[in-house]
Structure 1
Amino acid sequence: MIDARTLFVVAAALVDGDGRVLVQQRPAGKAMAGLWEFPGGKVEFGERPEVALIRELREELGIDVEQACLAPACFASEPLGDRHLVLLLYICRKWRGMVQAIEAPAIKWVRPVELHGLDMPPADRPLIGLLEALV
């Protein structure tokens, strides 16, 4: 059931020319601090998911992405306390600007198979296998 307790989050699997994917570390003071995740964030009320992701990538990484460069890939659905998280993952292979860690303490590029060895939030983990098959 979708209601006010459903939290929609968008994330991007940024893929570089070598087939590596960017992950960022969650900052101290936030839930799940220190875990590695795909960059992205919450979809605001009335905001389309792609618009939210473009905004989040600009805020978190300092890059500009065109909506046409976001390919819907897969999603995860996960309980989150008294709320429910729906995570929409997009693949993006083209952007403008240099990726930089603006909000995260660290970012790194990894091969999709290496994601299995990272501490990631529960909602991100089911996406790894699907991402391996797509990249």
Structure 2
Amino acid sequence: MLWGRGGGTGPDPARLAAAMPGWNWYKPSGTGDEVWGELHAASVVICHAGQNAVAEVAAARRPAVVVAEPRPFDEQLHTARALEAAGLAVCCERSPDHEQWLALVEQALALGGQGWARWHDGLGARRAAAAISDVARAHPGLLDAQEGR
């Protein structure tokens, strides 16, 4: 389970384990490389629909169940709906009951993680750099004007 500290606690791993015998659930406690390794080792990831969690799961190409956490502007709800519509993850608009998790996880496994390449292709930084270069070429002196030269 990949769950941040932005307000929700996510499903209880012990209750998930009780509802799904034979599965081991845990929340990574480390940061950086440790979490990245745990994501890659996971058969399926349960996460909230925050942008960072979704980006990490997409980059790791893991099957996922994505749960929208309540937010003032419903950004997680809209993200979950977009992911579901694109066929990238199994999504829930609210935290499911524990007896629903097995079916959701099985759906995520059947969906797989390869579709995430459409959400995150690993080339975003290269495209951003190219766009910045294009703007700089189209507007010579723009940076000089911004720096007061």
TM-score, scaled relative to structure 2: 0.24
Structure with the higher strand share, 1 or 2: 1
Structure with the higher helix share, 1 or 2: 2
Structure whose CA Rg is larger: 2
Comparing both chains, which one has the higher relative contact order based on Cα–Cα distances under 8 Å and sequence gaps of 6 or more? 1
TM-score, scaled relative to structure 1: 0.26
